[in-house]
Structure 1
Amino acid sequence: MKQAINIRLEKEMVKALDEYAKELEKTRTSLVEKAIELYFDRLDEMVADKRIDDLKSGKTTAVSLEEVFKKAGIDV
């Protein structure tokens, strides 16, 4: 189910968005959704990089799968 949100963009960005939408025969919404979807992919990479850095620096530690199962009371 879709949920409406309100955002404010610079006029130039809206103009460019409208031009792309017209050229591609898409709606503003579909283009914004796709842009956010693609940016989420980039954010996933950034989060993964941060987690790796945190492991390397000792800020966090890894837990083995066996330990996770044991704490959850799952026999494997």
Structure 2
Amino acid sequence: RINITLPKSLEEELTSVSKELNDKKSHIIARALNLYFDELDTLIADNRYNKYKEGKSKTYTLTDLEKVIG
């Protein structure tokens, strides 16, 4: 359970969508967050790939990992 404060414009839009879909605001927020987290996963993956291309991070082979974890 979490309590949040939304800007008035978002609150009004959420209320409108809730009425239109006949769904609870909490369900709509949860779905919106899931979609947003999917987008963030893509952004994080792109960021990590760009760091790899720039030589700021490296990859490890399975053999390397086996040596580390035994």
TM-score, normalization by structure 2 = 0.92
- In terms of fraction of residues, the more helix-rich structure is 2
* 1:11 equivalent in structure 2: 8
* 1:57 equivalent in structure 2: 54
Instruction: Give the paired residue count.
Output: 70
- RMSD of aligned C-alpha atoms? 0.9
* 1:25 equivalent in structure 2: 22
Higher relative contact order (CA 8 A, sep 6+): 2
- Give ranges in structure 2 of 5+ residues lacking alignment: none
* 2:68 equivalent in structure 1: 71
Partner Cα separation in structure 2 for residue 52 and residue 59 of structure 1: 10
Partner Cα separation in structure 1 for residue 18 and residue 63 of structure 2: 50
- Give ranges in structure 1 of 5+ residues lacking alignment: none
* 1:41 equivalent in structure 2: 38
Deviations for 1:6-63, whole angstroms, at most 9, x for unmatched residues?
2211112111101111111110000000000000000000000010011011111111
TM-score, normalization by structure 1 = 0.85
